[in-house]
Chain A
Amino acid sequence: MKMTMRNVWGAMFGLSLAACGPAVEGEENTQQQEQSLEAGCTQLGSTITSHACTHANNGGDLVAVTATSGLTSGTPDISTAHKFYSVTLPAGATGTVKYRPSLAGSWAFYLTKDITVSVKDSAGNTVASALGHAVSATGCALVKAVVFDLTSTTTDYRVDLGSATGDQVGVVLERLEDSRVRYYQDADGDAYGNSSVSKLTACVPPSGYITQRFDCNDTNASINPAAAEVLGNSVDENCNGSLTN
């Protein structure tokens, strides 16, 4: 990881504040390759999926389009994020739509049907999916998510969908980088994480990671901000920086 002066300052201040509890020293895995799905991501997290479901369930976000057979002048565009595109496909066949991301990054195509999605760039090169899996969320019509790393914001990607039963499929597009959540390692299982070991991700966090930080000793479950301070010893049980309260 390249350390900038900002990082250096951040690390120094983080170290100086670590004893007081509220400090973050940096990520365990801060260096992500630009516009690539983060390493170790095997499934999208509940936050981004819940967000996609919000738009899939919201009547006001519904946009109906009719896909074409291959790329034509009439191929519809589905480029607006946070919308629920109801795409009508050609009868019993694959349908084509266009997509141009507003920002480069890893884009999740959430779908209401378990169909094939293929993406090609403007030169006709196939973009391999970076991740794909089933989705299951209560009260949500989305059943599948496929992630593509898309780099061009100035040209359209060709997206082929289908075929699908009923010749229709719903699509919600979300950028992973916009829905990341920070998780902290909780090695001692006391529901407080280590401020110094965190991961910012839109994916399911590693096992043993939680969203609550401030554990000043992540190797002892009796030491955390919710613990009662024991007076007369040399341990800051409640992580408040004091041995007397």
Chain B
Amino acid sequence: MRLSPVLALLTACTLSLVACDSEPPSPPPPSGTDAGTEPGADAGTDAGTEPQAPRTSVTSAQPAEGSQGLYPVELYYDGAASRPGVYLRKVLSVTFTGPMEPSLAQVTLSNRTDTSIEPRPLTGQWSSDRRTLTVTVPAPEEGGPPLEASSLYALDLTQLKDATGYPLDGTPVLGDGKLDFTTGAREALLEHSCTHALVNTATALDAAPTPFAFPPATDTGHTRYRLTLPASEGSFQGYSELISAPDVDETVTLFLDRRVPLSVRNDTEGMDVPVELLPTEPACAGITHRARFSATAGDLIYQLRYGPTDFATFEFVLERQTK
């Protein structure tokens, strides 16, 4: 019996299983088995007999797999919020070896230290080349930070598929398809200063070229200063001053928007004062370093010398803490 053309086509499709299917191929078995690990391979045919292209996997992530001490929050200003102000979030990102299916962007964040916290489904945003997924973790609606401090987290990426519809190969970099990381401690003073860096209007001052040229006072706590240094022989450097409290010893911290060399002199007693200049945790835009020194009670004059730098203007939030 001669088959009609339509019947012949249906028969051919049924036999070949693949030739007439416009849908993506069926997902292959889980990682660790051989069959179907090659995108475009025909399940049930000659899998394993031809060279297999590697499946899409993770190349890098921020935070890195297995990293520890991740700062758990980022403070940012949201002017579009019903109550504009500084809020908390944490942004994570994962980059893949090839383009991914852009309609699938859901991942699941689990706190493995406190398993009483329900895993959070989150939807990321794909980059234009579909190789990087950015996941913004907001603060939970019920309150609390986006990530708890000192906790082990896992970001499950196994719901993602590549551009041809195959699941992610979770073995390279991640091992199990989940991005594991541990958060560190939070620092209240840094976060408090971030609020001032993001919200306050800066007090603009010109630093004095010498200690005797009436350096401006930069000694009010919770204040965001924008200091401009005078030019000096191809670079910039200048002075401001701080006067200690009459009655209490204090720790003075400048939360800087960039690394600025700072030296401090107790001018009243004629002594140089040790300054600790360190990078800060990435808690917010606008603060990258901190410079810290001790100010002894007694209305003592402290000269702050900035530079030399290759920039004229920078900002800092000044905080004074009673010891």
Contacts and interface: CB of A to CB of B under 8 A. Distances in A.
A30 interface: yes
B320 interface: yes
B298 A6 contact: yes
A240 B210 CA distance: 12
Interface stretch (B54-62, B109-117, B218-226, B304-312): B218-226
Contacts of B50: none
A54 interface: yes
A23 B241 CA distance: 11
B266 to A, nearest CB: 9
Contacts of A103: 322
Contact of A10 (B192, B220, B268): B268
B320 A178 contact: yes
A145 B312 CA distance: 40
Contacts, number: 112
Given A13-B269, A57-B85, A180-B245, A21 B222 contact: no
Given A6-B298, A59-B81, A179-B221, A22 B268 contact: no
Contacts of A57: 85, 199
A214 B267 CA distance: 15
Contacts of B196: 54
A145 B248 CA distance: 25
A10 B86 contact: no
Given A4-B298, A58-B85, A22 B246 contact: no
Q: Is the interface of B mostly helix, strand, loop or mixed?
A: loop
B132 to A, nearest CB: 28
A21 B248 contact: no
A127 interface: no
Given A27-B246, A225-B214, A58 B86 contact: yes
A214 B213 CA distance: 10
B212 A24 contact: no
B87 interface: yes
A26 interface: yes
B273 to A, nearest CB: 14
Nearest to B208: A22
B125 to A, nearest CB: 22
A178 B195 contact: no
B298 A10 contact: yes
A22 B214 contact: yes
A240 B195 contact: no
B83 interface: yes
Interface range on chain A (Cβ under 8 Å from partner): 35 or more
A22 B322 contact: no
Contact of A182 (B85, B219, B321): B219
A25 B296 CA distance: 15
A232 to B, nearest CB: 23
A180 B222 CA distance: 10
Contact of B220 (A24, A47, A55, A60): A47
Contacts of A13: 267-270
A61 to B, nearest CB: 7
Interface in A162-215: 177-182, 198, 200, 211-214
A51 B300 CA distance: 25
A177 B78 CA distance: 31
Contact of B222 (A30, A31, A32, A51): A51
Contacts of B222: 51, 54, 178-179
Contacts of A82: 192, 195
A82 B36 CA distance: 58
Nearest to A58: B85
Given A20-B212, A59-B78, A59-B87, A10 B195 contact: no
B247 interface: yes
B296 to A, nearest CB: 7
Given A22-B214, A182-B219, A200 B200 contact: no
Nearest to B88: A60
A95 interface: no
B211 interface: yes
A22 B212 contact: yes
Interface of B: 75, 78, 81-88, 192, 195-196, 199-200, 211-215, 217, 219-222, 241, 243, 245-248, 267-270, 296-301, 320-322
Given A54-B199, A57-B199, 11 more contacts: A6-B296, A10-B298, A13-B267, A22-B241, A24-B299, A30-B299, A32-B246, A54-B195, A54-B200, A178-B320, A179-B222
8 tightest A-B contacts by CB? A59-B83, A59-B85, A58-B85, A30-B246, A60-B86, A60-B87, A13-B268, A214-B214
